[in-house]
Structure 1
Amino acid sequence: MFSREMMPASTPKLDDLLLTAKLDSSQLERITAELNAISMAIAALAPLDRVELRKIAQDLQVAAIVSDWIDDWPLERAGLPEQYNIQQIRALVLIVHHLAQQHQPLVRRNIDDWQQTIQADRLPLQSPQLADYIGNFITMYQDRSGGAGNLSFEELAETALNLTLGLLFYGSPNGHQRLWGALLQRSQ
């Protein structure tokens, strides 16, 4: 019998992300928008560069699938596609999962700060760390939407905080499957 420590760690693969039905164009657009928002949340927590992203994509064996996405990083308004194809989405899910795992200490720290502000009956922006994160997220969102975003400051701040909670789950051992399932469910 193997102990838990002796079991080899599994590496998330594209094959873990099953698709049981064909996605239409509007579903792919919704998934693309959500993946872009999640990517912005990670980048708002910790700066990401192309070299790091390329290394992660190579390690996950998806570099060829997401090379254009990496070349366009950070995603500028002109570089944002309306939709990714299903292979790109699956590859980006693996990358987001990896990044969420890698940055779990930052994610947890932000969630702890958020809980403390709630308990102290303060606004999240009164926490310096949360204020930085929310500010970074809002700046990226506005840059990428070209000012055409229809969300208020408060809605964007709430979105940033909710995405942080999502990153907690997406960084778990089976987080890539959780993210995949959430994307498919929300695209309906």
Structure 2
Amino acid sequence: MVMTSTVNLPSSVPNWENLPLTNTPTPQQLALIQTHIDLMLLALESLIPIDQDMLLQAALDLEINSTLTETVTLWSNRADNGEEILLTTLSVEQTRSLILIICYIAGKYQELIRRAVTLLEQMTAQNKDPAKVTLLGNYLQKFHEFYQIAMIATKLIELPQPKKLASKLLVDLLFYSVENGHRRLWLALLDYTH
């Protein structure tokens, strides 16, 4: 059973003013930003059963051009189809739209993400393997499967401990699931690429 957050989302739709663009990212910076966003989408999809309809509904809720959702290939689809692509190269506007969508979906599932992070912290504090807890075990297994696809598709470096990346991204999802999380993520990504 999937739990959704009972927290009320802000009534105002996030807008571009919340995602400042003082300097347009260079193509190299935009590529780095998109890679990070794709990894966040990978983590989100490893925890939550996302499908194209959910992406489309989020775009409609946020009043974003829904053609973006046709551009984004979810990791489960990539696994099923054996696709060897990451994200299609996105424009700055599409990239910012995808950030809004990811943070919006994370906000809707904030309770589940918080539960997973709390379990992760408890297991780490007790020096126990997080994979022994069903919720985290399922998340880590899917993350590992999707990350293997990403390595083949994009020649990402194989990590000796992919659990660390999975854990970090899970905490990031919680951090960016809050109101104005999309703004925090955008500013962090701009800072990360400079």
Q: Which structure's CA Rg is the greater one?
A: 1
Deviation at 1:82, TM superposition (A): 6.2
Match of 1:120 among 102, 122, 126: 126
- TM-score (ref. length: structure 2): 0.84
* Amino acid aligned to 1:85: S
Deviation at 1:143, TM superposition (A): 1.5
1:172 aligns with 2:157: no
Match of 1:28 in 2: 30
User: Judging changes above 3 Å, is the alpha-carbon distance between structure 1 residues 64 and 54 closer, same or farther for their aligned structure 2 residues?
Assistant: closer
Match of 2:60 in 1: 58
Deviation at 1:55, TM superposition (A): 1.1
* Secondary structure in 2 matching 1:63: coil
Amino-acid identity (%): 28
* Secondary structure in 2 matching 1:166: helix
User: Judging changes above 3 Å, is the alpha-carbon distance between structure 1 residues 84 and 51 closer, same or farther for their aligned structure 2 residues?
Assistant: same
CA distance in 2, matches of 1:130, 1:158: 13
Aligned residues of 1:117 and 1:124 also touching (Cα < 8 A): yes
Deviations, residues 126-145 of structure 1 (Å, cap 9, x unaligned): 32221211111111111233
**Which region of structure 1 is more displaced relative to structure 2, 119-128 or 101-110?**
119-128
CA distance in 2, matches of 1:67, 1:127: 33
Aligned residues of 2:84 and 2:152 also touching (Cα < 8 A): no
Aligned residues of 2:71 and 2:88 also touching (Cα < 8 A): no
Listed as ranges, the gaps of 5+ residues in structure 1 are 1-7
Deviations, residues 168-188 of structure 1 (Å, cap 9, x unaligned): 111111111111111111112
Match of 1:139 among 132, 142, 145: 145
1:73 aligns with 2:74: yes
CA distance in 2, matches of 1:31, 1:137: 20
CA distance in 2, matches of 1:36, 1:53: 14
Listed as ranges, the gaps of 5+ residues in structure 2 are 1-9
Aligned residues of 2:103 and 2:182 also touching (Cα < 8 A): yes
Aligned residues: 179
The alignment yields a C-alpha RMSD, in angstroms, of: 1.9
